[in-house]
Amino acid sequence: MRRIFIFLGLLAILFSVESCRTAKMTDDPVFLFSYFKGNGEDGLHLAYSTDGLNWFPLNDDKPVLEPRVGKDSLMRDPCIIQGKDGLFHMVWTTGWTDRYIGYASSPNLISWSQQKIIPVMDQEPTARNCWAPEIFYDSINDQYLIFWATTIPGRHSQINHEDKESGYNHRMYYVTTKDFNTFSKTRIFFNPDFSVIDCTILKHNAKFYMFLKNENPNPPEKNIRFSVADTPDGPFPTKVSEPITGDYWAEGPTTLIKGDSVYLFFDKYREHKYGAVRSKNMIDWEDISDQVSFPKGTRHGTALKVDKSVLDNLMSKFKN
């Protein structure tokens, strides 16, 4: 009888250890990455990661959603967030010269709503573009911010082009919405003395960090910097940080918080690969580009943390 009790006790200990191990595995973070390839004509691509460094394509790296709106029918710079309603909300660049952006939502990243355009710059007939829109949920005001880069000729302080890049001179604009059906009036969001694109916002330690690309062409900057504000709708100081990326051209920043570090991923578009930096104090940034791997051809994407069940459903639907 004593041996039976000892045996049952050992079984209980083993079961407890296995339960803890299984719970730990279940609680491990899972990450997704939305991106486009080529010119964006084939649509939305998704990759996944369990460590935030090594990313693997879903659906054999074929698109999981095709573009249906816009003059050029593109799906560039797809930005996805999971809203407070549990839905995944996505915006994207529909074309090179559109005065609107694309929008769709999904409960699971598998089935999607009808795609529609949001005419964010209809009131500006000379606006040349709407590029790289992003969404951020403003919990302070219970609303979503949607912001993007636009060039309006003659509107802002001039920069030195010397006939480079067709005279683009971008600034950031934004709208707010609570339901993605009605939107506020378009307003200026960030207006520094340089051409700026590809902004993304991270909430960290009760501050809001706007990472951005200095797009000045002459002399070329093409690097990632940041500005810090107390609220997500700013104002963000136009005196920004020094570059936190290295001696290469970088764009399309996106962030993840993993452990005690902030990871910033970006498109090294001249080198046709992805890079990354990380920081524990938002002051010192370590370049870890040699530690990350992405599907070949990944362009300007968004990283997000999701429940493991979301990835399980995607893996089941899009078997590689």
Give the integer Cα–Cα distance in Å for 135 and 144: 7
Q: What is the pLDDT of residues 142-185, one digit of tens each?
A: 999 999 999 999 999 888 776 667 889 999 999 999 999 999 99
By the 8 A CB rule, do 55 and 295 touch?
Answer: yes
Q: What is the pLDDT of residues 10-61, one digit of tens each?
A: 444 444 434 333 333 445 679 999 999 999 999 999 999 999 999 999 999 9
Confidence band of 9 (pLDDT split at 50, 70, 90): very low
The CATH number of residue 299's host domain is 2.115.10.20
- Lookup: tokens for 240: 């920004």
| Mean per-residue pLDDT over the chain, rounded | 92
Cis omega (within 30 of 0) for bond into 119? no
Give the integer Cα–Cα distance in Å for 143 and 49: 29
Tell me the three state secondary structure of residue 66. Answer: coil
Query: Radius of gyration (Cα) for the chain, nearest Å?
Result: 22
Q: Which residues lie below 8 Å from residue 280, measured CB to CB, with a gap of 6+? A: 260, 261, 262
Residue 28: domain span:
2-317
Give the integer Cα–Cα distance in Å for 223 and 249: 6
Q: How many domains does the chain have?
A: 1
Placement of tokens 């600034």 in the chain: 171
Placement of tokens 């938002």 in the chain: 282
Tell me the three state secondary structure of residue 150. Answer: strand
Q: What is the pLDDT of residues 197-249, one digit of tens each?
A: 999 999 999 999 999 999 999 899 999 999 999 999 999 999 999 999 999 99
Q: Which DSSP string corresponds to 91-105?
A: EEE--SS-SSEEEEE
- Lookup: tokens for 134: 């992003």
Q: Which DSSP string corresponds to 6-62?
A: HHHHHHHHHHHHHHHHHHHHHHS-EEEEEEE-TTS-S-BEEEEESSSSB-EESGGG-
By the 8 A CB rule, do 238 and 230 touch?
Answer: no
Burial class (CB in 10 A: 0-12, 13-18, 19+), 282: middle
Full-model pTM? 0.90
